[in-house]
Amino acid sequence: MTTWSEFCERIEALGEGLDDEGQRHLANQVACWLTYAIGHNDPRHPAFFRSSDPVYQWGGPNADQVARRTAIDGDGVYRISGHMGACEEFVLQIKLGATQSGGAGVGLEVTGSSLGLGPCDDIDILLGGEDPDDETQSWLPLDPEGSFVHIRDYYFDWQPAEPATFVIERLDTMGEPKPEIDAGAILGTALGEIEHSFEFWNGYQERMLGDQPSNTFLPPAGMGRGVKTLIYSHAGVALDPEEALVVNVDHGGTTMWDVQLYNRPWYEALDFTNRLTCLNHALIEPGPIVIAGSDPGGANWLDTEGRDSVLCTFRWWNPPDTPIVDAQVIPLSELDLPPVDRQSQIARRSSHIAWRYRT
């Protein structure tokens, strides 16, 4: 059993020597994983937990998506219902293993579109049990080792509209009372996730980039535990205040992609609600992407928030050909980009995010 005093001592040890951003990140992990362990880690009484949003920041969250998860049993029977709202696509995965520690392989991955679902449609999915052979309901088998279901719902157009609703119920234990509170188990679960997440993501970018020179992108490739249909390219961006990184991209024929900036080393999203720190296929205007710490003009500016170093990540959905990313450091004084209505750009983002995370 993990006692409260042991929990506090081990969190205190993690916090030694951290700067303000590191302390905030640690506090964020404590809040995130305690919430998960308290209310979302019982596979007999599931409830979706929003594990990545403007509040909970860890693991390179995608600004175009909402991520939610809950614990499940591989031998259980579950129903996921709800409404798509303005959601343009979602990816549902059944994960095998722990949420963070010990790895989490992908046992099953499906998209909303593959189930015939699009914006404004009703959602009705049966997980596990026998195929009901019901044309009004989608059925997905459960791997016996399935430990949690993970849903990512995507919003590319960034409009102020009602987002998706996802509800999960376990059908074969319905009406079963919840067990007595086990504070030791709650603290033990949370502590395991906090310690692993804190240490894993702290070194993730360094391991991923290796000896790749700054301001150059890694060759596009998949990530074993991410969405299987995505490929990624990353760059550590380090610019002087009077420099910009001008990025031209051949997207390999894909119609869906995004690019986003993150802090270092914690892999948290930069402020995508109030600043221009991400773009996608629906938001970009003709012309190159320009990464800089001050506004260079032009519609496709990605704001580093004036940081000395950030991570830039591209994602592509099922590109027919391998994308090509060409990046060049240029003095800001050599750029000649038209002025744009920044306030209007930011207002669109802020309004959409307020709707997407309305509760």
Question: Is 136 contained in some domain?
Answer: yes
Give the rounded percent of residues in the chain with a pLDDT score beyond 70: 97
Give per-residue pLDDT as tens, 188-212: 999 999 999 999 999 999 999 999 9
How confident is the model at residue 204, as a pLDDT?
92
> Is there a single domain that holds both residue 350 and residue 221?
yes
> Is there a single domain that holds both residue 219 and residue 309?
yes
> Is there a single domain that holds both residue 346 and residue 216?
yes
> Is there a single domain that holds both residue 150 and residue 215?
no
How confident is the model at residue 103, as a pLDDT?
59
Give per-residue pLDDT as tens, 125-159: 999 999 998 888 999 999 999 999 999 999 999 99
What angle, rounded to 10 degrees, do the helices at 4-15 and 183-209 form?
Answer: 20
- The pLDDT mean for the chain works out to 94
pLDDT higher than threshold 60 for residue 272 = yes
Question: Is 27 contained in some domain?
Answer: no
Assess contact for 68 and 32: CB atoms under 8 A: no
pLDDT higher than threshold 90 for residue 225 = no
What angle, rounded to 10 degrees, do the helices at 183-209 and 20-39 form?
Answer: 130
- Segment 315-340 shows an average pLDDT of 96
pLDDT band with cut points at 50, 70 and 90 for residue 335 = very high
> Is there a single domain that holds both residue 216 and residue 166?
no
pLDDT higher than threshold 80 for residue 224 = no
Question: Is 59 contained in some domain?
Answer: no
> Is there a single domain that holds both residue 215 and residue 347?
yes
> Is there a single domain that holds both residue 166 and residue 256?
no
* Residue 244, domain CATH: 2.60.120
As a whole number of angstroms, the distance between CA 201 and CA 27 comes to 15
Domain termination residue (choose one: 155, 172, 189): 172
Give per-residue pLDDT as tens, 46-85: 999 998 889 998 889 999 999 999 999 999 999 999 999 9
How confident is the model at residue 99, as a pLDDT?
55
Question: Is 344 contained in some domain?
Answer: yes
How confident is the model at residue 98, as a pLDDT?
65
Domain that holds residue 260: 211-356
> Is there a single domain that holds both residue 90 and residue 144?
yes
How many domains, the chain? Answer: 2
Cα separation values, 22 from 59, 96, 171, 268, Å: 14, 30, 42, 11
> Is there a single domain that holds both residue 237 and residue 331?
yes
Question: Is 89 contained in some domain?
Answer: yes
> Is there a single domain that holds both residue 221 and residue 164?
no
> Is there a single domain that holds both residue 255 and residue 343?
yes
